Amino acid sequence: MDIVLQTSNLSKNYSGIRALNNLNIALPSGKIIGLLGPNGSGKTTLIKLIAGLLTPTEGSIEVCGVPVGPETKSMISYLPDRVYFNQSQTVEQLLNYFQDFYADFDRQRAVSMLSMLRIPMNVKFKTLSKGAREKVQLALVMSRRAKLYLLDEPIAGVDPAARDFILHTIVTNYDPTATVLISTHLIADVEPVLDEFLFINMGQIICLGSVDDMRDKTGKTLDELFREVFKCLPSL
C-alpha cells in the first residue's frame, strides 16, 4: 500500500488565527476516508492546502511523494463546496475543457453519467437547476482517474435523492490505487461508505482510525462517537 498523501508539521495561519496546527497525517491508497469535524475546525483549509489553493505557513504537503504544484494538481481531482465553472458555457464545452487540461479525464464515463442524470449536452450551465449543476460538477470530477479525490462537503445542502446519487458514484468509482478524502459534518449519511476517519477540531487531528475497528471496540456508530467527542469542546 502506498502513501498517497503525507503532511509534515503542517500549519496555516489566517490573520492571526491558527487554522491548522502542526498536522502530521499519512493517507494510504485504496481507501475512502472521512475528514470529519464541526464548522470552522480546519477541514476546508486542509483540503485547499492539498489542492494548492493555499500555501502553508509552516510545514509541507506531498501527494504521491511530490510536493504540491502543477504535477500534484494533475493527480488530484477536487470537488469544492461551490460551483466553480464559467456558467455561460454549455455542458459540452465544460467536458471539452476538462478533456483539454486533464489527461486522466474519462469522457465516456462523464457522458454516460450525464445521460443517466438526463442532462443535455448543449444547454448552458447557468440554465440548469442548482441540484443539476452540482451533479454535473460531481460527474466531471469523478470521471477523472485521479490518485486523490478531494470532496469538500459533497452532500451538504443537497436533496436525499442527489445524496444517494453522490454516495453511489463515490462507491462505484472506487479504485484500489486511489484515495478519496471526504470532508463533511454530515456523519451518518457518509459513514457506511468510509473505510477510515479523521476527527479534526481547532486545526488538530484529535482521533483517527478504521470505522469498523472503532465500532468493534466501542459498539458505537461514528455518528454517535462524533457527538460524544465534540459535545463539550468549543469550536471556533
Q: Does residue 70 belong to the site contacting other proteins (CB under 8 A)?
A: yes
By CB under 8 A, name the one of 25, 194, 200, 205 that touches other proteins. 194
Query: Contact 190/167 with Cβ under 8 angstroms?
Result: yes
Cβ-based nearer residue to other proteins, 130 or 220: 220
Residues β-bridged to residue 61:
7
Q: Is 86 helix (H, G, I), strand (E, B) or coil?
A: coil
Any residues with CB less than 8 A from the CB of 66 and at least 6 apart, and which? 72, 75
Phi and psi at 154, nearest 5°, equal: -70, -25
Stretch that binds other proteins, among 2-10, 17-25, 113-121, 193-201 (CB under 8 A): 193-201
C-alpha cell at 176: 484500489
82 binds other proteins (CB under 8 A): yes
Each residue 216-235 as x (binds other proteins by CB under 8 A) or -, in order, gives: x-xxxx--x-----------
DSSP state letters, 103-145? TTB-HHHHHHHHHHTT--TTSBGGGS-HHHHHHHHHHHHHTB-
* 130 touches other proteins (CB under 8 A): no
Per DSSP, the residues of 166-180 read: HHHHHHHT--TT-EE
Considering beta carbons, is residue 24 or 116 the nearer one to other proteins?
A: 116
Q: Using CB under 8 A, which of 71, 126, 156, 209 touches other proteins?
A: 71
Q: Give the binding range for other proteins (CB under 8 A) out of 18-26, 97-105, 112-120, 154-162.
A: 97-105
Q: Which of 2, 9, 66, 69 binds other proteins (CB under 8 A)?
A: 69
> Is 51 an interacting residue with respect to other proteins (CB under 8 A)?
yes
Q: How far apart are CA 152 and CA 34, in angstroms?
A: 10
Is residue 18 close enough to count as binding other proteins by CB under 8 A? no
Choices 3-11, 67-75, 122-130, 201-209 (CB under 8 A): range interacting with other proteins: 67-75
